[in-house]
Chains A and B, each alone.
Chain A
Amino acid sequence: MLRLALLLCLVAAPLNAEEVVADLSQSRISITTDFDGSEILIFGAVRRETPIPADDPLQVLITVEGPSEPITVRRKARRYGIWVNADAVEVDSAPSFYAVATSAPWSEAISDVEDLRHDISTPRAIRSVGATIAGSEDFTEALIRIRTGQDLYQSRIGTIKFEQQTLFSTSMRLPANLHEGDYRARFFLTRKGQVVDMFETAIDVRKVGLERFLFRLSRENPLIYGIMSLAIAIMAGWGASAAFRTFRT
């Protein structure tokens, strides 16, 4: 049995002859009070023991995604002369942030089958199984369109610089309206549209300092947070008018 396993390993090794090694300029994003988005640099290399195969060139795909959560997508319709939310579709799981970058046009970078298997393209990253309304694709399309407009979903086809089929680098911009959570970056090496190797690493996006304190307090001790908000607001209002009065006299 052990011998068989060893044999399998040896046989399997050439399949993984090209491995991806990658890193990010920061694996921790802090949302501070003056947070105005963040640019992360993503870079890596391909490790191989054999010469570069002469057939189709190697391609790289990188995704960065935020934590997934259920979303309700609503559509307005005209009722009694005014525009109101009429239909709704529950999307079971949609990442709060999703960016995908490639080193080549989509069809050259990956095949549909592999995309289906690894959920790489944005529509694949969104899951909606229980949709009961006809034309629910319109709703997921709208979800992507709205989030793309907010820079939360980014499709950066062909933006990865890939040198000598070995060194790659790209940058991604995380927008200012980022939500906290455990983010992950995935790296795929493909050849002829088939995934050759993949690698995954985590990015920790956290509110820090005052932001963290206020957010936590508002969720964990909402009553104390409410009383504190009132006290702070009253003091600030009083302070500002007192300051104005001293300034005038």
Chain B
Amino acid sequence: MHIYLPIAEVSVDAFLLLGLGGFVGILSGMFGVGGGFLMTPLLFFIGIPPAVAVATEANQIVASSFSGALAHLKRRTVDLKMGVVLLAGGLVGAALGVQIFNALKAIGQVELLVRLSYVVFLGTIGGLMFVESLKAIRRSRTGRPAQRYRKSQLVNVLPFKTKFRTSGIYISVIPPVAVGILVGVLAAIMGVGGGFIMVPAMIYVLGMPTKVVVGTSLFQIMFVTGFTTLLHATTNHTVDVVLAVLLLVGGVLGAQVGTRIGARLQAEQLRILLSLIVLAVCGKLALDLLVQPSEIYSLGAGAGH
């Protein structure tokens, strides 16, 4: 059943979109990740214009992080003060990101920016995760205990220290604001929540307890992607709500199935699997940049627009 997307102005099979949402939903349920970093490239592959894919994905992430954030708020596993600091940085970053996005769109390089960002981030994250998981498996075989990660010294010397009671840490606000800005920029440019950057940064750089990390990041992601959606909607008119809802419905159902599959697999195996998927998507995007395209010409809106 084909459906005409009002903003993307393309006709796509509705079941393909539901299936795509379901597929990424299963993965995100299995691995406990948002899935934006997989969905946006997949939307490029099926022919959705990159600008629409990025903006619509931001809209979808708001909805998919909403129920998660709500559940964590109920369980009191959100560090609200830290969340607000990260959010302040996130809003600045998102505004900055949309500016960069629009400037590059005007000179026809936005697709390159989005693809390059994906190759760099997916390559780095996937590679690190793969190596880390291999090491962990080897450790569990030899029976040596894992190294404890020590909090970065930089966090202790910076000024504007404040107490984050829920997390039980006393650190400068500069690192969390900086992390927030980075995540905000990524949300605007790549259409991702940024959990894959923020969660490791919270644990390793800020030294937050694991228990509040996921809830706090979901809290920040919900608001930052919401703000990003509004910015894209008002400046670019690229948020396609029909596309977002179809992906979302598939995604929510897929996530429920994925959670159940994930519960049966071992954590290390899951991480290796996820890193391989991430590296595969990264490889495909990199290949598209490196190999001569079959059509070297492309069309864009004229300067009059």
A residues in contact (CB < 8 Å) with B: 31-37, 69-78, 81-85, 88, 90-92, 138-139, 142-143, 145-147, 176-177, 179, 207, 210-211, 214-215, 218-219, 222-223, 225-230, 232-234, 236-238, 240-241, 244
Contacts and interface: CB of A to CB of B under 8 A. Distances in A.
Nearest to B3: A33
A232 B111 CA distance: 28
B107 to A, nearest CB: 9
A229 B244 contact: yes
B66 A72 contact: no
A234 B66 contact: yes
Nearest to B235: A222
Nearest to A81: B290
A65 B62 CA distance: 41
B242 A227 contact: no
Nearest to A227: B230
B241 A75 contact: no
A229 B299 CA distance: 28
B128 interface: no
Contact of B67 (A76, A90, A227, A241): A241
Interface string B281-300: 00000000111110111111
Contacts of A73: 297-300
A237 B248 contact: yes
A223 B235 CA distance: 9
B108 interface: yes
Contact of A34 (B4, B234, B298, B300): B4
A70 B303 contact: yes
B303 A85 contact: no
Given A228-B241, A233-B62, 6 more contacts: A69-B304, A72-B303, A73-B299, A90-B302, A214-B242, A238-B63
Closest 10 CB pairs of A and B: A70-B302, A226-B233, A142-B297, A176-B11, A237-B63, A233-B63, A240-B252, A229-B241, A226-B230, A222-B234
6 contacts: A72-B108, A90-B303, A229-B233, A230-B229, A232-B241, A240-B248
Interface residues of B, number: 56
B140 interface: no
B301 A207 contact: no
Given A70-B303, A237-B63, A244-B256, A33 B4 contact: yes
Contacts of A227: 230
Contacts of A236: 63, 245, 248-249
A233 B244 contact: yes
B252 A241 contact: yes
A85 B244 contact: no
Interface in B152-206: none
Contact of B253 (A207, A219, A229, A244): A244
A154 B280 CA distance: 38
Contacts of A88: 108
A179 B6 CA distance: 10
Contacts of B67: 237-238, 241
A84 B104 CA distance: 13
A70 B230 contact: no
Contact of A69 (B108, B249, B302): B302
A34 B299 contact: no
Interface string B104-141: 00001101100010000000000000000000000000
B6 A211 contact: yes
B297 A83 contact: no
B9 A177 contact: yes
A233 B301 contact: no
Contacts of A233: 59-60, 62-63, 241, 244-245, 248
A187 B172 CA distance: 74
Contacts of A211: 4, 6
Nearest to A142: B297
Contacts of B242: 33, 214
Nearest to A35: B4
A34 B305 contact: no
A198 to B, nearest CB: 29
